[in-house]
Amino acid sequence: MGRRKKESPSVHRAQIAQAASALFLEHGAASVSMDDIAKAAGYSKATLYVYFENKDEIVRVLTLESMKKLAACVRAALQGPESTREKYDFICRRLIQYQQDCPFYFQTTLETIDVDFQNRDPFPEERETYQVGEQINGMIRELLLSGIAQGDLRQDLELEPVSFSCWGMLAGLIRFAANKEPYIRQTMGLSKEQFLQHGFDLLYRSLESAPNGKREATI
């Protein structure tokens, strides 16, 4: 049944998007209908279409929101300690927390983002999502450049592929560990955090200017 409230449209959109994100996380976006979202949000289907054109628009809004949350996460981590390794450790910890607090949003950042803006007119959310993604890549590049300048990281790193690879490896490892936590604990005798620490340290050592006996990342 629909409901009439005096809240602004942005409030209703946020409530609908929140309900949709929970359904998408549990069932996958492809399996969720507008009827399902309306029921979960407590709106009639007709009212739902007042605030969103269709399910695709909801997905676009959630994708943009996820990228904004990720950008804030990385930005906050880079405002921490000065050393390259400490900043890297901060990013790792913040990403773990982000995945735990916002699993759907974290998952969404790994999905396909259409960047074919030459052959079609993109929706505003798509263009902004791309722009936020470029901001994240830029922050990672700045970390790499700073690390190279300080002599912490290898001089031969190719910034563009390495920055994007770092994000993919870190995010993929965190998602993998979350999905495989019982297996990791049973077969390796490690907690999820211990397993991730091994992976984070392995990635950082591949970027270091020279192997040394520095401490491992602390989660």
Q: Check whether residue 165 and residue 109 sit in a common domain.
A: yes
Q: Check whether residue 42 and residue 59 sit in a common domain.
A: no
Residue 84, domain CATH: 1.10.357.10
Q: Please check whether residue 219 lies inside any domain of the structure.
A: no
Q: Check whether residue 11 and residue 28 sit in a common domain.
A: yes
The residue among 76, 126, 128, 127 whose CA lies nearest residue 98 is 76
Q: Check whether residue 99 and residue 170 sit in a common domain.
A: yes
State the greatest distance between any 2 C-alpha atoms of the chain, in Å, as a whole number: 64
Cβ atoms 62, 104 nearer than 8 A = yes
The DSSP secondary structure of 90-140, one letter per residue, reads: HHHHHHHHHHHH-HHHHHHTTS------SSS---HHHHHHHHHHHHHHHHH
Q: Check whether residue 111 and residue 195 sit in a common domain.
A: yes
The residues that bridge with 208 in the sheet, in sequence order, are 153
Q: Which domain holds residue 36?
A: 1-52
Q: State if pTM tops 0.95.
A: no
d(CA 3, CA 51): 13
pLDDT in tens, the chain (219 residues): 445 456 788 899 999 999 999 999 899 888 999 999 999 999 999 999 999 999 999 998 998 888 898 898 888 888 866 789 999 998 899 899 888 888 887 887 777 666 666 666 788 888 898 899 889 889 999 999 999 999 999 999 999 999 989 988 999 999 999 999 999 999 999 999 999 999 999 999 999 997 554 444 445
